[in-house]
Homo-oligomer: A and B are copies of this chain.
């Protein structure tokens, strides 16, 4: 077994993810956006399908339910979304986009684009394809392992 931390994929990917998050925070700070990447992710899934429940958001974003509750809480506080108990099943809480989010949609997409451009500088299309394919393979391995 290779004991060099640098050669352990898990560690390499974790470290890279941290660096990427740091870089995105830089972009956000520069643009003075008052929103975090994890809040974007929730908004993203709502743009795909408005009115999703907390649980459905958690599943799609592969996040902890408890944490999604709190992310949505913040989005509510900033008036980007509202929560409403489902009429059919009052355990369920649906989340709806508020008009105010339209104003930041473009900014958010530009952040994603900027971050992506920096990361992929000099990485060819074919490499990007290879990367994605392998990452998906690994992701599936882990999802399977987590049941």
Binding site for B on A (CB under 8 A): 1, 3, 5, 7-24, 26, 37, 41, 44, 62-63, 109, 112-113, 115-116, 118-123, 127-128, 130-132, 134-135, 137-139, 141-143, 145-146
Contacts and interface: CB of A to CB of B under 8 A. Distances in A.
A25 to B, nearest CB: 10
Nearest to A127: B134
Contact of A109 (B1, B121, B122, B138): B1
B128 A123 contact: no
A1 B115 CA distance: 13
B19 A16 contact: no
Given A5-B44, A127-B137, 5 more contacts: A14-B37, A15-B62, A19-B139, A23-B145, A131-B134
B17 A16 contact: yes
A37 to B, nearest CB: 7
Given A14-B21, A17-B14, A62-B15, A119 B135 contact: no
Nearest to A18: B62
Contact of A121 (B18, B37, B141): B141
Contacts of A15: 62, 139
Nearest to A136: B12
Nearest to A119: B138
